[in-house]
């Protein structure tokens, strides 16, 4: 004979306890899923900023070599970076053959990344 059957009140209490435990597990799972989604969004934003910094680095490296102006990869890199570099170039004083706009762009990108990630973390809490 099962011990719960000899004490009906205890059997009901066990069922309530099991139901409460199941609800607690569901709550823990929803918190974990929400945390995973939050990290997913933040991870994607970090990845996008990292990719942009890599594209900026590629732009700097391309400037050291003679590249065919019709090269589609070079054109893509130029199109992705020029919207950020052109305004910075206009603000910086002329320094001869050296272009410091990519260096400033790196700093700006890292600064903006930190601001965006901080805002995302606080919004997704």
Distance (Å, whole) CA 61 – CA 111: 22
Task: Dump the DSSP string for 49-89.
Answer: HHHHHHHHHHHHHHHTS---TT-HHHHHHHHHHHHHHHHHH
Where along the chain do its domains lie? 36-123
Give per-residue pLDDT as tens, 26-71.
545 444 445 555 568 899 999 999 999 999 999 999 999 999 989 9
pLDDT at 4 over 60: no
Q: How far apart are CA 28 and CA 100, in angstroms?
A: 50
For the entire predicted model, the pTM comes to: 0.65
Token pair recorded at residue 100? 């410091």
pLDDT given for residue 90 in this prediction? 94
Whether pLDDT at 2 is above 80? no
């Amino acid at each position: 004979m099962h011990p719960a059957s000899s004490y009906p009140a205890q059997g009901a209490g066990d069922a309530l306890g099991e139901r409460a435990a199941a609800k607690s597990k569901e709550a823990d799972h929803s918190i974990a899923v929400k945390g995973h989604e939050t990290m997913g969004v933040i991870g994607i934003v970090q990845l996008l900023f990292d990719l942009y910094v890599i594209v900026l680095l590629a732009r700097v490296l391309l400037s050291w070599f003679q590249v065919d102006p019709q090269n589609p990869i070079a054109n893509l890199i130029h199109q992705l970076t020029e919207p950020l570099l052109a305004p910075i170039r206009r603000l910086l004083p002329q320094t001869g053959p050296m272009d410091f706009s990519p260096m400033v762009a790196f700093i700006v990108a890292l600064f903006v990344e930190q601001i965006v990630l901080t805002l995302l973390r606080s919004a997704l809490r």
